[in-house]
Amino acid sequence: MKLTTLFASAAVALGLAAGGALAQDKTKVGFVYVGPVGDGGWTYEHDQGRKAVAEEFGDAVETVYVENVAEGPDAERVITQMALQGADLIFTTSFGYMDPTINVAAKFPDVKFEHATGYKRADNVSTYSARFYEGRAVQGTIAGHMTESNIIGYIGSYPIPEVIRGINSAYIHAKKVNPDVEFKIVWAFTWFDPAKEADAAKVLIEQGADVILQHTDSTAPQAAAQAAGNVITFGQASDMAEYGPMPRVSSIIDNWAPYYIARTKAVIDGTWTSTDTWDGIGPGMVGIGEISDAVPAEVKAEALALKDAMAAGEYNPFTGPLKKQDGSDFLAEGETADDGTLAGMNFYVEGIEGSIPE
């Protein structure tokens, strides 16, 4: 796969070189994607954001992207190429691009960088992310009500704070409405590998799970759940509505377009500064997909009430009393987790079994 990515990105870079010389006056916005734009999930939504930028600014902006870029050294090369080809603003859209982004940014002080879901910033590097864990709270509530086996399967990608936060949030809210609930967590160690994601879903279903939550990018777990029957799932990153009303009963939708447009505008106007953005349901960066009729009306009402409370800022999914997995105190009664704690979350809350891979 490495080789293909290498050649693919080399080919794209050559294409950029050809186009770059002609369009010096345009603002050039680059996007680096971890999966293909047709994954139906994470990368698809980022690309929707890119298209929104292209539409908003028309001829004033040129957008370019490279898909299927492996996290690590490959990413550094692709980002460097983009910067060399005259990009003014580069969005790197996966957690694993964090260090590559910082490294390249140090070499190109005049280029602005935006890294998704990371925590390292510089004068020309902003970070942005969405509070997906708010959506996970809604999913956990529905999952806790809907499960009959009381086993909820969770497909994790990599053990990073982003994913762990989602697991904790879903667990806390499933447990709240169903004290008997149990989470089975499988780490796929990939963002995008439909066959493996489907295998993981099948394994969880074979081991008794009747709800599958996923934190990987493709719709494969939805298809696996559909084939198994009588299992519910949630769209991840994108609505995945084509799998509704069953197995997909709701979804978390990432809406990057407003942010991408705002940041591109800031570059055009020369007002861009390094910022840290972390928006949730309230500002609209996280959307909750239509809850299907497979969910009973009262459960749906409860989930929507929770969503509204979070949107209004009245409720924080991480509100005490909560303990960590090892039994030590996390949050006291009524206390809420601050953003620093959430951003670096590396522990399970009490009740989740198993350990987080290092």
Determine which residue in the list 28, 30, 31, 35 makes contact with other proteins, applying CB under 8 A: 35
Query: From CA 226, how far away is CA 145, in angstroms rounded?
Result: 20
Determine which residue in the list 18, 21, 22, 195 makes contact with other proteins, applying CB under 8 A: 195
CB of 224 to other proteins, least distance (A): 7
Query: From CA 9, how far away is CA 34, in angstroms rounded?
Result: 12
Determine which residue in the list 17, 106, 207, 296 makes contact with other proteins, applying CB under 8 A: 207
Q: Which amino acid is at 110?
A: D
204 belongs to the binding site for other proteins (CB under 8 A): yes
Choose the stretch contacting other proteins; rule: CB under 8 A; options: 88-96, 129-137, 196-204, 303-311.
Answer: 196-204
Of 47, 49, 27, the closest CA to residue 38 belongs to: 47
Q: What are phi and psi of 96, to 5 degrees?
A: -70, -5
36 belongs to the binding site for other proteins (CB under 8 A): yes
Instruction: Please give the full DSSP string across 81-146, using - where no structure is assigned.
Output: HHHHTT-SEEEE-SGGGHHHHHHHHHH-TTSEEEEES----BTTEEEEEE-HHHHHHHHHHHHHHH
Determine which residue in the list 3, 18, 21, 297 makes contact with other proteins, applying CB under 8 A: 3
Contact 345, 171 (CB under 8 A): no
39 belongs to the binding site for other proteins (CB under 8 A): yes
The pattern of x and - marking residues 97 through 136 that bind other proteins according to CB under 8 A reads ----------------------------------------
What is the footprint of other proteins within residues 228-257 (CB under 8 A)? Answer: 240, 242-243
CB of 130 to other proteins, least distance (A): 23
357 belongs to the binding site for other proteins (CB under 8 A): yes
The pattern of x and - marking residues 131 through 160 that bind other proteins according to CB under 8 A reads ----------------------x-----x-
Q: Return the H-helix or E-strand segment holding 329.
A: strand 329-331
350 belongs to the binding site for other proteins (CB under 8 A): no
Q: Write down how long the chain is.
A: 358
Query: From CA 325, how far away is CA 257, in angstroms rounded?
Result: 37
CB of 262 to other proteins, least distance (A): 29
4 belongs to the binding site for other proteins (CB under 8 A): yes
Q: Is 345 left (phi over 0), alpha (psi -120 to 50) or beta?
A: beta
Strand, helix or coil for residue 222: helix
CB of 211 to other proteins, least distance (A): 14
72 belongs to the binding site for other proteins (CB under 8 A): no
Q: Other CB atoms closer than 10 Å to residue 301's CB: what's the count? A: 12
